[in-house]
Every structure is written in structure tokens, then in C-alpha cells.
Structure 1
Amino acid sequence: MLHPRFRTVVFAFFMALFMSGFMSLVISIFNVGLIDNIATIWLKAWAFVFCVAFPTVIFVAPVVHKLIRAPL
């Protein structure tokens, strides 16, 4: 099993990986359509977006956890 100390980083990594991959694919198809080289365009976009998404999830996740724990 995964040591509890690393769970936050591993969660952030996979959350950023899947969300950035899916969203970059959707936006790439929306912007250029289903063209011949969409896979290349998408993978370039995904690489860039993941570099933004991973640190964002690392910093935003604790804020969200605090918000959902706060009384209404």
C-alpha cells in the first residue's frame, strides 16, 4: 500500500493527469476538429496543460478540503 505521506501527491498527480488529458482532448477537438494530426496536437497540448494542472491541484486541493470541512 501507499504510505499516507505520499497520498496527497499521488492523488494530485493522477487527478491532474486524467483531467488535463481529457480536457485538452476536448478543447483540441473543439478548436481544430477531427483532423489527421489531432493526436499530435492533443499530445502537445496535454504535455503543456499537465505542467500547469499538477502544481495547480497541489495548491488548490488543500483549500478545497478546508472548504468542504467548514460548517455551513
Structure 2
Amino acid sequence: MTFVVSFISTLRSIGLTNHLFHIWMGAWALSWAIAFPTLLMVLPLVKKTTQALVKPR
């Protein structure tokens, strides 16, 4: 997900340039480095909330 979102954001920001790939890879690395730890912190809360809202069969 971060791969696609960072590509769209980078492309929209700088357009099709010769350096698009390198700039995109830098943006992707940064976004992944932020998204993964965030996921690990938020996932337990999401699981608890889902279990509270969904009845088991």
C-alpha cells in the first residue's frame, strides 16, 4: 500500500521526470518506515475494537 501511495504522491508532486524512480524509492522507504511501526502499535486496538463490535458465531 505504501508503495502505490508513495508513487502516486511523488508522481503528482514532481511529474514524469528522469529522477522519478529515485525520488519515489526514497519516499517509499520513508513512508514504509513510518507505516510499519504505526501498524504494530495500532493493530491491538483495532483487534479489540473489532472483537467488541462483531459477534462470534
TM-score normalised according to structure 2 size: 0.80
What residue number does 2:40 align with?
Answer: 58
Higher RCO, Cα 8 Å, sep 6+: 1
| SS at 1:36 equivalent | coil
How far, CA to CA, are the matches of 2:53 and 2:4 in structure 1?
33
Q: How many residues align?
A: 54
Rg: which structure is higher?
Answer: 2
What does residue 36 of structure 1 align with? 18
Segments of structure 1 that go 5 or more residues without pairing to the other structure are 1-18
Question: What is the letter of the counterpart of residue 61 of structure 1?
Answer: L
Identity between Structure 1 and Structure 2 (%): 33
* Length-normalised TM-score, structure 1: 0.66
User: Where do 4+ consecutive residues of structure 1 move more than 3 Å?
Assistant: none
**Root-mean-square deviation over aligned CA pairs:** 1.4
